[in-house]
Amino acid sequence: VRVRPLTCTETRRGDRQVVRSLGDGTIHVSAARHDATFGFSAVFDAGASQEAVFEGSGMRQLVELALDGFSCTVFAFGQTGSGKTYTLMGPLAQSKTQPASPALLGLMQRSFACLLEQSRNRGSDLGLSASYLEIYNEQVRDLLSPGPPCTLPLRWSKTRGFYVENQLSVDFESLEAIASLLLQALNPTPPAGSQRRRTSAHALNTHSSRSHALLTVHVRSRAAGARASPPPTRVLQPSACPSKQGTLCFVDLAGSERVKETGSSGELSVEANNINRSLLALGHCISLLAKPRGKRTHIPYRDSKLTRLLARSLGGSGITLMVACISPSSRCLSETLSTLHYASRARRVTTRP
Ligand code: ADP
Ligand code: MG
């Protein structure tokens, strides 16, 4: 759980701080009629740096597991404005004109750097490709395809589970290239004429909080040359080394709060209802998955595109880190409590990697 600092606006209008970290992974919410303590694997309060979140959340281990061939996912969820995008990518607004300070880079950029560092340490060849999707109004759109985002069908097969048909996967020669495509923050010299980049950046900025965005980095690694500590019994020839294919998926969920705020008219209400529907479906799947295995009923992944795409991360063979983002403000109390309850349920879910 990450608590963001009070914003200037909140401070100016005199919002009270109702959330306090008590240390040891416990967090306390206190307000007139609510007084509750929750326990999590880790709690980061307003003073926690981006680095502290990367190191303390298990994100580094997740990167290492992706290199070992596991399917890893990190989710950020919480109400709009609670710090999801900040946690995943850092402060985006500044990066358009000037790159964000390295200290403020989020989990994504730190993971990319860590992937690179780890693969160097392991002396392995790294093949990287990325796909980038958003779910907007219950439609899956490819953010890497040139031109306006196109809608893709979501299918199911016995071997692959749920998958997106014709999804574009772009090979990258460096992790920096992925980072710059997504963030325009790391790379000062973007390749000329990259229509894709503009498209995805545009889509990212316009819809970031109205759509769920899923970035998947496919990591193929093959041991090349000598390892730091070769297996004691037999040393494989490089050509005989099996390659490992893991994934690292970053999910920036649409916020939950605007659903109420905008649930009034026309297009916005359609958007809001769709966000609402998919977040409800996600919450429902999480509640059911949190039950002991023996008592579980059917998990309704098919209720929304979001839950279909996340089926493996939620209850299958993936390894998943969920970061619940909350505001400390008294005005956000009910959303904060609902995020914390949601997170407590999510914590009980186990997968079988
Ligand atoms: P969300 O993606 O959940 O809608 P944002 O990440 O855009 O929320 O955060 C909302 C605002 O709060 C942004 O201006 C962001 O820079 C700021 N913010 C969020 N988390 C932090 C933090 N940990 N430290 C400083 N500012 C933060
Ligand atoms: Mg956001």
Which of 15-24, 166-175, 338-347 comes out lowest in average pLDDT?
166-175
Per-residue pLDDT at 58: 95
Indicate whether 24 pLDDT > 60.
yes
HEC profile of 183-219: HCCCCCCCCCCCHHHHHHHHHHHHHCCCCEEEEEEEE
On average, the pLDDT of the chain sits at 80
57-78 pLDDT per residue, tens: 999 999 999 999 999 999 999 9
Per-residue pLDDT at 316: 82
Q: Which atom of ligand 1 is nearest to the CA of 209?
A: 4
Residue 311 alpha carbon to ligand 1 centre in Å: 28
Per-residue pLDDT at 152: 92
Give the integer Cα–Cα distance in Å for 259 and 79: 10
Residue 84 alpha carbon to ligand 2 centre in Å: 5
Decide: residue 20, CB within 10 A, 0-12 exposed, 13-18 middle, 19+ buried. Answer: middle
Query: Quick one: which ligand is closest to 4's CA?
Result: 1
Per-residue pLDDT at 5: 96
306-342 pLDDT per residue, tens: 999 998 888 888 899 999 999 999 999 989 999 999 8
Per-residue pLDDT at 350: 83
Q: How far is CA 84 from the centre of its chain?
A: 8
pLDDT band per the 50, 70, 90 thresholds, residue 271: confident
Q: Which atom of ligand 1 is nearest to the CA of 88?
A: 6
Residue 7 alpha carbon to ligand 1 centre in Å: 9
* CA nearest ligand 1 atom 16, residue: 91
Average pLDDT, stretch 251-277?
A: 68
Indicate whether 108 pLDDT > 70.
yes
- Taken in order of first residue, the domains within the chain and their CATH numbers are 2-92+104-186+209-221+243-347 (3.40.850.10)
Query: Quick one: which ligand is closest to 100's CA?
Result: 1
90-105 pLDDT per residue, tens: 886 544 566 678 899 8
Annotated binding site: 78-85
User: Where is mean pLDDT largest: 29-43, 51-65, 234-248?
Assistant: 51-65
- The whole-model pTM stands at 0.84
CB count in 10 Å sphere of residue 226: 10
Percent of the chain exceeding pLDDT 90 equals 37
Per-residue pLDDT at 110: 93
